[in-house]
Structure 1
Amino acid sequence: MTAHGIHTIDTGFVRPCFDAAYLIVERGRGAFVDCGTNFAVPRMLAALDAAGLAPGDVDWLILTHVHLDHAGGAGELLARLPNARLAVHPRGARHMIDPSRLWAGASAVYGEEVMESTYGRLRPVPAERVVEAPDGHVVDLAGRTLLCLDTPGHARHHLAVHDERSNSCFTGDVFGLSYREFDTANGPFILPTTSPVQFDPAALHASIRRLVALQPAAMHLTHYGRVEHVAKLAGDLHAQIDAMVAIARAAQDQPDRHAVLTGALTDLYAGRAAAHGWTQGRAALVALLGMDIELNAQGLEVWLDQQ
């Protein structure tokens, strides 16, 4: 738990300290921000119990976006929270009410068997429990203001949440990835995440600038946890977005484009991690970031093909 009634929950997805959800507690009422997969539901309920709340004390589940590592367990969790409503970006609402397209799209990539074992079957959320949260929408948690901000760049249906009480933001994936294994005496290490289908570098730059303009004391990342040094990390993200776009343009006409991209991204992150004071080397970096490097390469390829 951090100050201001904010609890970080490790959803257990992939590895420890990889995928976070959050519980915000205000005057005996609770709101979750993101929820992980179906397999995270017991951890979410255990976090409630540890905070002294019952399932009926939860008023909200707020989703930053509907990618399955953030939202896959929403239907199963809400089935156990009798009074909670779901707040989600207007572009994502229909996928929570009817997740069949989400499931079909991901299954086409990974296969049904992998989807079942990784995420569990998606459960629809009743339409009457879904609240669309456009830019500027305020979620009221027992008088505590949680402001939803449209923040595209990683996904077009992405929102971030500014918590006025703690002066911090819950950023989903728009403020990048910062795994605690890369922390050094120089603080946290961060990198952007492009996502496979909706990366938009100009929008991502703008979303990061918008969050920094709020002058938050900290960011709460899904991957992973609370980070400070917000202005420095934002500068790191801006520099890397530009570097990644340059890498993509240079690889555009290469016959082995994907391999070129993954190699160049690995070089970029390994060089920056070393400059950050991380001494464990390239092989250890690939072990921790291999999936992210692969997804970032895919995201850059889709973006190139859309230009």
Structure 2
Amino acid sequence: MSIHRIDSRISLVDLMDLSMHERTGSYIIKEKSLTIIETSASPSIPHLKKGLSKLNINLEDIQYIILTHIHLDHAGGAGLFLQECPNATVIVHPKARRHLVDPSRLISGAKAVYGDKFDALFHPIIPIPEERIRVMEDRESLDLSETCTLTFYHTPGHANHHFSILDSVSNGMFTGDTSGIQYRVGPKRFYFPSTSPNQFNPDQMRHAIQLYKECRLDRLYFGHFGETDQVTYALSEVEEHLERFMEISKEHFVPSLPFEENVKNVTSALFHYASNWMTRHDVAPDHPVRELLILDMQVSAMGIVDYFMKKPKGESTA
């Protein structure tokens, strides 16, 4: 577990998601209303608590726990964490509330994907009492202090229950997964889209990226992993790679094949593309970042194949 102090207000705790460094982070915003953005899954909660302790933050002082979306690597531990935060309210997208109150569908869906690995990765997933949840509508605001306001933007594309949060002080957007993934390789930064199942929509993702551009941001805060002030560059990279992901996947997708075989073929093609991109930018073949790439390209392939298979016959897969 490590702590990255971004500025005097915002810190990032490495949650050691999947036992990997710099995989998933939780942002701590020190304002009058102390706020946490993202918890990751339940096995990450000890790392979050340790980070908060190092920052001299008491759990009873936390006022808000904000979840950009409810995929388990961002929100699976929220119920467990909330049990120790007596004064906190969980802030989510309107479409997410019912799944936090009754996480049975989240659990069954994850078990179908992860099988025997589910418990090690995600257990336990604790229901959250409805009275401790607050939903935020599109463009709704939340004051954390007299000088800090968070504004919430509904940003589907990665998931229908996804919002992004604009911090008025830093003029930075907490983008969850809609702006993709930032890979940190020494001083280098790489950006690829995250097109995970089963609500990926490329048009909505393009629209969200355009929204980020129109906001003229000074920072992006990624769920995976860390922040950047190279906003224009990061968004243009994600845009470019999204188009290539769709083109490559279309070339390797065969409608007559079963889902699993299409995922295998598309995963291989996407990994080849992303890995070669890093190689061309002087990333060593044995660098640990490639382990993350393998995982992420498989998940992205699943989302794109799912998107293709849901489209009516004869409709473009672009």
Distance of 2:267 and 2:56 partners within structure 1: 46
1:51 Cα deviation from its structure 2 partner = 2.6
Counterpart secondary structure, 1:190: strand
Q: Which residue of 2 aligns with 1:211?
A: 212
Q: Which residue of 2 aligns with 1:12?
A: 16
Distance of 1:279 and 1:42 partners within structure 2: 32
AA at the equivalent of 1:268: Y
Pairwise mapping of residues 31-46 of structure 1 onto structure 2 (< 5 A)? 31-46=35-50
Per-residue Cα deviation, 1:62-92 (whole angstroms, up to 9, x for no partner): 0000000100010111111111101100111
Q: Does 1:142 align with 2:145?
A: yes
1:267 Cα deviation from its structure 2 partner = 2.3
Distance of 2:168 and 2:118 partners within structure 1: 37
Please tell me whether the aligned partners of residues 270 and 282 of structure 1 are also in contact (alpha carbons under 8 angstroms): no
Pairwise mapping of residues 278-293 of structure 1 onto structure 2 (< 5 A)? 278-281=282-285, 286-293=290-297
Per-residue Cα deviation, 1:272-303 (whole angstroms, up to 9, x for no partner): 2234x233138866423111111111111101
Distance of 1:204 and 1:85 partners within structure 2: 28
Q: Which residue of 2 aligns with 1:127?
A: 130
Counterpart secondary structure, 2:174: strand
Please tell me whether the aligned partners of residues 148 and 161 of structure 1 are also in contact (alpha carbons under 8 angstroms): yes
Per-residue Cα deviation, 1:229-279 (whole angstroms, up to 9, x for no partner): 11111111111111111122222227553333122212221232234x233
AA at the equivalent of 1:110: Y
Please tell me whether the aligned partners of residues 67 and 92 of structure 2 are also in contact (alpha carbons under 8 angstroms): yes
Please tell me whether the aligned partners of residues 97 and 127 of structure 1 are also in contact (alpha carbons under 8 angstroms): yes
AA at the equivalent of 2:132: R
Instruction: Report the more deviating stretch, 252-261 or 296-305.
Output: 252-261
Per-residue Cα deviation, 1:121-148 (whole angstroms, up to 9, x for no partner): 2111110010011211212213321111
**CA 1:223–1:64 in structure 2 vs 1: closer, same or farther (change >3 Å)?**
same
Q: Which residue of 2 aligns with 1:25?
A: 30
AA at the equivalent of 1:209: Q
Provide the TM-score with structure 2 as the length reference: 0.90
Per-residue Cα deviation, 1:183-236 (whole angstroms, up to 9, x for no partner): 55xx41110010121110010011011112211111111111112211111111
Q: Does 1:261 align with 2:266?
A: yes
Distance of 1:190 and 1:243 partners within structure 2: 13
Q: Does 1:59 align with 2:66?
A: no
Counterpart secondary structure, 2:70: coil
Distance of 1:285 and 1:75 partners within structure 2: 30
AA at the equivalent of 1:130: I
Pairwise mapping of residues 1-307 of structure 1 onto structure 2 (< 5 A)? 1-14=5-18, 15-27=20-32, 29-111=33-115, 113-143=116-146, 144-181=148-185, 183-184=186-187, 187-253=188-254, 255=257, 256-275=261-280, 277-281=281-285, 286-307=290-311
Please tell me whether the aligned partners of residues 10 and 16 of structure 1 are also in contact (alpha carbons under 8 angstroms): yes
Instruction: Report the more deviating stretch, 255-264 or 149-158.
Output: 255-264
Consecutive unaligned residues in structure 1, runs of 5 or more? none
AA at the equivalent of 1:89: H
Distance of 1:40 and 1:287 partners within structure 2: 19
1:107 Cα deviation from its structure 2 partner = 1.0
Distance of 1:212 and 1:50 partners within structure 2: 35
The percent identity for this pair of structures is 29
The alignment yields a C-alpha RMSD, in angstroms, of: 1.7
1:4 Cα deviation from its structure 2 partner = 4.2
Q: Which residue of 1 aligns with 2:314?
A: none
Q: How many residues align?
A: 301
Counterpart secondary structure, 2:195: coil
